[in-house]
Structure formats: structure tokens, C-alpha cells
Chains A and B, each alone.
Chain A
Amino acid sequence: MGQSRVIVVGAGPAGVRCAEVLVAAGIKPILVDESRRDGGQIYRRQPEGFTRSYPSLYGTEAERARALHQSFESLRSRVDYRPETLAWNIYDRQLHTVSAGVTKALPFDALVVCSGATDRLMPVKGWHYAGTYSMGAAQIALKSQACAIGRQVVFAGTGPLLYLVAAQYVKAGAKVAAVLDTSSLWKRVRALPKLAARPRVLLNGVSLMRTLRGAGVKVVTGIEPVEIHGSDEDGVRGITYRSQDGATHRVECDAVALGYHVRPETQLADLARCEFRFDAETRQWLPTVDQDGRSTTPGVYLAGDGARVLGADGAEIAGKLAAWALLEDMGHPVPDAERAALRREREAMDRFRQGLVEAFPWPAEQAARLPDEAIVCRCEAITAGELRRVVNQMGACEANRAKAFSRVGMGRCQGRYCGHAGAEVVAAAAGIALEKVGRLRGQAPVKPLSMAVREEQE
């Protein structure tokens, strides 16, 4: 038997830890990563030549970031590392990648997809104006390029990133005009028992709040965003929100970072024809995996936030578990005790994850209240009203049908950013359960593919 062809997609916490286990077992995986450098989103490394310190870049997670980067450096010669490479399709047990205008089909015996997560977004009227960023984009601008997204930034939405990124902006000296959280303080209090499963992380969260308060940042909870004000020419000018007492308030700003926690990037799992299941807790479809990350497609494993959002250290564990699952399936020995310990450790993380879901819930109910003129699908500029029209007048109560009629989810992001909210709008308009709306079928390419690509044999 020749060397097994193993590919790992993603060089974040899950991908690096996965590759590490594979290398230790004598396998030289191909490690495909879209970024210029390793680390993923969470431990994104600054460009070469930038000199910010680990603590200034990663705060309380500096040591974990450093450890992951060091692990990667020591692996580098023992993996076939392909940075700046997009995995754009999976077909017939080949991974199709594109890098620098060259596309290749890489055959695999086993594939571990560690594709990470991106922001979960709920539209708000005016969110198409220049100056509205996702929370993740706001963080990337800071982490990678040491840039703020505006001179006066409002952070709106919910989830741990809301406070983390706002605090990072404060520390970097940027002006944070307000932090507007759709979740209430009460929900966070109620979630405390679950959040206490990870005391250190919980304390980090509390300290972020303290940083914001200390800087005099206005933090309002239990709000509902009403409208981002602006113009096509000048972009964002301000944001109006409704507070719990029903009053509306306007905050002047030139940029808004928007996000409602994160959602797994599942297109590759979809293209690998993995089955999905509806997760009622978070109101989304997730690929079905066993406890170690085996998908329903033989030889395809899913690890990290791309399968289930557990955060960076949960992803490191998931990467190792997926690697062991892969090795076990190939007949290699695996360290049972260590595996059992990691599985247990991850259970505590899962309890914490549930706590986060309860503390910072996805504001599904907002979808029904979105004004008709609010744009849902920014790629195709389709409004909530148009989406409701295809439900009410054309009977499109299923996600792909609504897409076919309205074009919501048909643009360059293929619904990655509007799909969740679009489904909520359809469900509310049709008066049916979200699960019945179904799931947008993912299609290649995962991201737009230049027509000038050249094909090369591996």
C-alpha cells in the first residue's frame, strides 16, 4: 500500500492540531489554507514585518496563540503546506483547489475539513451602506492590519465577539461609540451555571466588560437595531436602536460592526455530500458528525468551528479527535486514554457552548419585524418585502424555492451571510417552523472562481 493521501483544509487551531497528530503517525498531509499565514481567524498572524507583540495581538490568549504558531512552525517541513489556496470544490473524491490562478484536483483517501466559522448576521435596514462590517471583519482589520473600520465605531448584535472586538478596539485606541447587545443581561445571568463550566473564559468575559466600562463606552443590552443611517455616497452616518422600554435612540457613527455570534462554514461539507441535521437550539442546519468528527461521507471528517462552534481551544481538541478517528479508520493505533480525556474535556466546553447560545441568543424574532424595504440579500440587493412576496404570492415556502424565485442566496456569497436570516423571514411569512423551510443547497465554487484559471495536474 502506498502512502495514504490525506488532506487537511484549514490551518487554524483545528487544522494545525489535526496535522500534528497525522504527522506524528507518519503521514504527510497536504495542508490547504486560504490565508497567507497559519493561525486561522482566531490566531491570525500579522503580515511579515509587522511587530506587534503576542499580548497586544491576542490578549489573554497570547500563550495559546504562540503555542499554536510554534507547533505549526515545527510541522512546516513535514506537511505539504499550501497557503493562499482556496478549496473551491469537492467531487469524485478529489479536492479542487485554486491558488495564484492555477486550479488543481487533489485526490484524497481521507479529508479533514477545518473550515472555521464566520459571523452569523441578521439584517437591519441600512446594513448595505459602506461602513457596515461583520464583527469578524472588524476584528481582522485590527488584528491583521492594525486598522479600525471607522473613526467612531458602533458594535451591534450579540455574542462573545461583540464584547471582545469592542474591547480590542478600545485597547487599540479606537473610538467605540457604543456597544449594543440584542440579548438582555438577564439571559446572561440565567446562563451563568452553564457558563461556569469554563471559569477562566467566563472571567475573561467579565474583564472585557470592565475594560469597556473603564473606557466609558456606552453598553446597552436588550436592544433591537432599527436602522443604520447613511447614504450610498457617504456610507454609514449613525444607527438607531430601540431600547427595552420601547424608546428609540440614535448614535452617531461612521462604521458599524454587526454580528450575532458565529456560524460554521459548511459549504465543503455540503459539496462532500455530507448529511445535515437541523439544530433546534441554534436554529440552523449543521453537518451530522459523530463525537470525533466523522461525517456521513466515508473518509470525510469535520473538525473545529466548521462543524460545531466550540471556540479555539475546542477546535484544537476537535482537530486531534478527527485525526485519531481518521487514523483509527485507516487501521493505525490511537491513544485511547488521551482520547477519552479530550472527549471529556470537550464535554465541559459543550456545556459552556450551550451557555453562550442561551446568553446570546440568535434574535430570530427580528426577522418577522424587518421592514419590507430592508435588504436581506446584499449580494443581489433583494429586500425582505420581495422575499415575503415570493412566499405569499408564489407559494415559495422552501429555502431553495424562495431562492429560485427571489434570488435571495443566489449571489456571490450563496447565502452564507443572508441564508439564516432569509430562512427566518420565509418561516415567519409562511407561518411555518424554520426546520420546514429547509436548507439552501450549496454549490461550487465555495467562493467566486476566476474564469482565467489554468488547470494543472498535481
Chain B
Amino acid sequence: MNSHRADVVIVGGGIMGAATAFFLRKRGASVILLERGLIGQQASGTNFGNVRRMGRPVEQLPLSNRSRESWLKFKELFGEDVELLLNGQLRVGFTPEHEERMATYAQDAKDFGMGMQMMGGKALRERFPYLGPDITAGCYAPFEGHANPRLAAPIIGRAAVREGAQVFENTEIVSVEKEGEDFRVNAADGRTFRAPVALITAGAWGNLISTSFGEPVPMIAKAPQMCVTEPVPYVIGPSIGALIDDPDQLVYFRQVARGNIVVGGGGHELADIENRRAYVNPRRTLLKLKNAPRVMPAFNRLSIIRVWSGIEGYMEDSRAVMGPSARVPGLYYAFGFSGHGFQLGPGVGDVMAELIHTGATTTPIEHYHISRFAKQAMQAA
């Protein structure tokens, strides 16, 4: 039988798993990375692509800032270009309440280096003349940006391979077991993978594995509802999101260098994790088409050429599960990033590698420990 062994086995080849594999290799650990499909195919490859800190909970900003260091030297670190555009991030609002929310956040997060500037409607339209007349206020963060999610995780995966990680794609995992001092990961085709340390970065499927170790978490799989316009001259600059009170009415967009505008929002559908299927509901596409021109009226002159979705793991409290298992020594988790993991990816990899390698991390992640669900798990048991 085909058996492989390493210091660490990582289950799930999204951006979290790929980045951890990379940084573990940088620290000299041998690594096996297992992926059911291809690297970065689900949430990592189909998300909107924001590389932003603004809007994240304040307690997440140290992690986000650590990730930013990797994004800023992405090509140098991982060897290929990821179409990173750092032309800022803009949030816009339509009501005094929106303005107050943005101002509060700008104040709360002022120490994290984002350089956020509150702007009134007039100033916004002077600087970004394409914005609609209903916008009354905005918050601009000049150093944020976006990148191409279809490329990011695969690039990091290839970098990990170059660093010596053993990456196995198209490897369906049926179970992860503790066997003596080792974890044994069993593939559907009979191959086994062993290591004294296991990291679960299985995204929307993470809960299936944590549950098998007695640590179920409240999580659902959602399908983001993306669409993209035909290419038009590059003018927009920042990645723009509108504050809207009903999540279904949400709309955000970014223009890539070649000109297409990616439009996200419109709420979510539930994804089918068993069959690995996620669909775009046309009702949600139409919601975005209705709401996007309110932010930028010129949308009414464009067409969308394609929609897509993927499978994202959402925690009930929108906080990822990240850190060591509360029950099993040597077991670690990093999944459930609830639709905001893309920017965090390289930082999570860096932090998890540090945690696994040294037993501690210089970036606080206690907030994400799986033990917060232990009470629920007890009740369920």
C-alpha cells in the first residue's frame, strides 16, 4: 500500500493550506498537503478578491496586517504575479447612520495603519466622479486593494512545491484518525498519509473533520453570487463597497487592470457540500444589477458577461476556527473564514506555521479558538 509520511499533514488545499505548507517548509518542516480537487478551486478561487483590511473586526487587524506583509511582497515570496492592485478601498453610505458607522470604525481601527479618511458626498464625487448622487458619505482607505483569486492559491501551492512540500491533488480523503502518536489520513483510493501533526484547512468541509474528533462547530456552506462585466477602460481605482442595511441588497465591485468590473453582493445561496455544487440564483444577480447603478450610475451602460459561485464555510458567529484543537494534541484547525479569508490567507499560513513550529504565535488568535463552541458540543453530545 502506498504510504506517505511527513512532519505535518495538511488536509485541504485552499489558500490557507497552501500558505501554511509554504511557510512550514520555510521553517524546515516536511509537509504533505492533500486536496480533493485542485489547489484553490473553491472559496479561495471563486471569492471576490479583495485584499483589504478595512471593515474587518478590530481584533482581526493584527492578523490582517501580518498577512498584508506577505501580499506586499507576494511575487518575491511566491514567485509569480497575482495581479495585485493597491488603489485603495472605498466604502460608501447613503444615510447619516451609515456615515456614523463608518466614522466609528475609522476611529476604532485608527491604530492599524490604514490611513482611513472620512469624506463627504461632494468631496467623494470630486475625487471619484463616477459615484452616484445618492451617496452622502464615504470612508477611503488608500493602501488597500485587490488581487486575482483564481491565481493566488495555485501560485502559493506551486511555491510550496518548489520549497519541497509534497502536494497531492485529486486526493479524496475519507477519514483522519489519531493512531498512536501519529495522525493517519486515509484517501479513498487506499493511500495513507501520516504525520505527528495534522492541520485541517478544509474550508466548508472543516466541520466534518473536526466533528470526527469530537469538536463539532456551527457552520453552514454558502455560495457567493458573483458576476463580471465586459471590459471597459480602467478608471475606477479603489475597490468599492456600499453600506446597505439588508445583506441581500449589498453590492461591491472592483475593476481589474484589463477593465472588467467584478460585482459581488446580492446575498448568498446555500451550497451543496456533498455534491460540491454551488449555483448563482438569477434573482440575486438581478438584485445586484438593480443596486449597483445606485453606487455608480454608469453601470447602466454595461453588460454582465458571466456569473459564478463557489463554496464558502460560514461560521455562525462569522469568526473562523483557527488554532490548536481543544481536545487532541497535535491537531490544528484553520477553516470557516466566513467569506473574508482571502486577504488573511498568507497571514494565516504564516501564523499557523509559526504556531505549529514553535508552539506559540506572536499574532493573537485566541479569538478564533475552537473551544468557544465546546459548550455547544457538550450539549449536542
Contact = CB atoms under 8 A, between A and B. Distances in A.
Interface stretch (A29-37, A224-232, A398-406): A398-406
Interface in B136-180: 150-151, 154, 158
B75 to A, nearest CB: 15
B257 interface: no
B38 A91 contact: no
Interface stretch (B50-58, B98-106, B284-292): B284-292
Nearest to A89: B282
A451 B292 contact: yes
A452 B301 contact: yes
Contact of A401 (B38, B230, B282, B283): B38
Nearest to A398: B38
A127 to B, nearest CB: 20
B94 interface: no
A448 B303 contact: yes
Interface stretch (A4-12, A42-50, A275-283, A407-415): A407-415
Interface in A88-109: 89, 91-92, 96, 103, 105
Most chain A CB within a 10 A radius of its CB, from B279, B301, B303: B303
Contacts of B293: 451-452
B286 A444 contact: no
A451 B283 CA distance: 13
Contacts of A405: 150-151, 154
Interface size bucket, B side? 20 to 34
A155 to B, nearest CB: 30
A386 to B, nearest CB: 13
Interface residues of A, number: 27
Contacts of B301: 451-452
B125 to A, nearest CB: 21
A404 B301 CA distance: 27
Contacts of B289: 449, 451-453
Given A451-B289, A455-B290, A443 B229 contact: no
Given A91-B282, A453-B289, A411 B305 contact: yes
B72 interface: no
A398 B154 CA distance: 14
B82 to A, nearest CB: 12
A449 B229 CA distance: 9
Nearest to A452: B300
Contacts of A411: 230, 305
A105 B308 CA distance: 19
B302 A445 contact: no
A450 interface: yes
A185 interface: no
Given A394-B154, A404-B45, A444-B280, A412 B230 contact: yes
A414 B307 CA distance: 11
Contacts of A91: 279-282
A451 B305 contact: no
A455 B304 contact: no
Interface string A367-404: 00000000000001000000000000011001001001
B275 to A, nearest CB: 11
A404 B150 contact: yes
Interface string A64-101: 00000000000000000000000001011000100000
A449 B280 CA distance: 15
A342 to B, nearest CB: 36
Interface of B: 38, 45, 150-151, 154, 158, 229-230, 258, 279-283, 285-286, 289-290, 292-293, 299-308
11 contacts: A394-B158, A404-B45, A405-B154, A414-B306, A444-B280, A450-B303, A451-B229, A451-B289, A451-B299, A451-B300, A452-B300
9 smallest beta-carbon distances between A and B, as pairs: A448-B303, A452-B300, A404-B150, A412-B305, A89-B282, A451-B289, A451-B299, A448-B305, A91-B282
